[in-house]
Amino acid sequence: MSDAEKMQQALPENFLWGCATSPLQVEGDTVNEWRGFSAADGSTPDDGPNHWRRYRYDLHAAAELNLGAFRLGFDWGRLQPGPKEPFDRETSLRYLEMLAELRSLRIEPFLTLFHFCCPEWLAELGGWKHKAAPELFADFAQKMATMLDGEARNWITISNPSAYAMLGYGTGVYPPCEKGGAGAAKKVLTNLRRGHTLAYNAVKEIQPEAAVGLSAHFYQPRPGRETAEVAGVEEDSLGSFLGLDSFAPFLSFRNKPTADFVMLDIHLAGEAAPDGFWRQDCAYAENVLRETAKTAAVPLYVTGNGMEATDPEKHSQHLREHLQLCRNALADGVDLRGFFYGSLLDGFEFTEGTGKRYGLLAVNFEDAMRRRNIRPSGRFYGELARKNGACE
């Protein structure tokens, strides 16, 4: 069968098509350690698309794009105003409303408990360096599971722990902006591992039938790829730290599994890559999926895979390349269950700010209402979802 014929074949019947957001990037009204952080373009998280107030439009847009799953995060500090304190009632109700809206639209929620949003009160104690951080996070997870009372089946404890540890405590380009190098990042990673394990057990205790996993971002070392995020870190050290070896300990503790699935952030090079690196990235990504499948032996999902969406043709081609990546993984026997495009809408892209546009929905940041509309490439993704990956 030719490649063209393969692209006309649908993916497995139960394959999930979804999209992703993170609270830091889309909510606004920042109440975590990123408050006051300015990106390279001068924007802050509060300059984002204001999903906190306009979530109904965004979720209905996801339904219009035929998506069956939605990855959303919770801002720990917004919910819990202090260590082990009861949740803020108004915030709890808003998040419950989001989940109810998803249910009404028949979209399966995947919940992320920690996606680079350390509460200000924890940051003041030392953040994830603090010895009690894992237990405080487990308390948050337990309260979340109690509050939701079975409303969601799929939980992600921590998003990209190795990246957070390195960027926040190693290179210091993300809050808390500490430049302690790989040594400091490894100490934080140890706490993150313990936090993940405790949170996994806390959710399972309340909701035994839940699927609890985490997400990982793997770094592909190559000449010319260094960015502000990784500047000043030796290549060998970085490749090791953001590789599978540093992630594997999150998958079990004392021979007991602590991950029911893994979400992989796989970023192909896109239009800005130097000549020759596009195919190199595709080969690397396929290898990441195969090796993670061998190491984890749990279902996998591809997520966090956006690129700048300003050129409709290139953006649609980018989606086709990821679809082919999924096809190849499935052909290799990888237990790949779904694909989550990141992000649903343009947002605050960490050190890059709001100037980079990755969304299926284009946001007008010049407009006070942050009006948005579906991009042509977003429509293309919606058709992929409707046809379950069959392209013409």
Instruction: List pLDDT tens digits, range 105-124.
Output: 999 999 999 999 999 999 99
pLDDT at 275: 46
Q: What confidence tier does 274 reach under pLDDT thresholds 50, 70, 90?
A: very low
Pairing verdict, β 252-253 and 300-303: unpaired
pLDDT at 228: 46
Do the domain assignments include residue 123? yes
Do the domain assignments include residue 43? yes
Handedness of CA 56, 111, 358, 16 (dihedral sign): negative
Long-range contacts of 272-280 (CB under 8 A, 24+ apart): 272/308, 274/224, 277/222, 277/224, 277/225, 278/321, 280/220, 280/222
Question: Which CATH number characterizes residue 171's domain?
Answer: 3.20.20.80
The more confidently predicted of residues 240 and 374 is 374
Q: What is the C-alpha to C-alpha distance for residues 89 and 85, in angstroms, rounded to an integer? A: 12
Do the domain assignments include residue 154? yes
* pLDDT for residue 359 is more than 50: yes
Q: What is the C-alpha to C-alpha distance for residues 70 and 68, in angstroms, rounded to an integer? A: 7
Do the domain assignments include residue 392? no
DSSP secondary structure letters along 336-361:
EEEEEEE-SB----GGGGGGS---SE
Q: What is the C-alpha to C-alpha distance for residues 23 and 10, in angstroms, rounded to an integer? A: 33
Report H helices in 297-392.
312-331, 376-386
* pLDDT for residue 235 is more than 60: no
Residue range(s) defining the domain that contains residue 190:
3-386
pLDDT at 2: 61
Of 57-61, 214-218, 269-273, minimum mean pLDDT range: 269-273
Do the domain assignments include residue 391? no
pLDDT at 97: 98
Structure tokens at 332: 């290799």
pLDDT at 139: 98
Task: Tell me the C-alpha to C-alpha distance, in Å, between residue 153 and each of 148, 321, 383.
Answer: 10, 30, 26
- Closest by Cα among 164, 258, 248, 240 to 202: 258
Its pTM stands at 0.93
For residue 317, which amino acid is it? Q
Largest CA distance in the chain: 59
Q: What confidence tier does 242 reach under pLDDT thresholds 50, 70, 90?
A: confident
- Closest by Cα among 334, 382, 320 to 7: 320
- Quote the mean pLDDT of the chain: 90
Pairing verdict, β 372-374 and 361-363: antiparallel
Q: For residue 276, what are the contacts with CB-CB under 8 A and spacing of at least 6?
A: none
Q: What is the C-alpha to C-alpha distance for residues 29 and 47, in angstroms, rounded to an integer? A: 9
Residue 12: CA count within 13 A, CB half-sphere: 16
pLDDT (mean) for 270-296: 73
Pairing verdict, β 372-374 and 108-114: unpaired
Q: What confidence tier does 60 reach under pLDDT thresholds 50, 70, 90?
A: very high
Q: What is the C-alpha to C-alpha distance for residues 16 and 19, in angstroms, rounded to an integer? A: 10
pLDDT at 305: 73
Do the domain assignments include residue 308? yes
Of 174-183, 266-275, 306-315, 357-366, minimum mean pLDDT range: 266-275
Do the domain assignments include residue 248? yes
Question: Structural domain tally of the chain?
Answer: 1
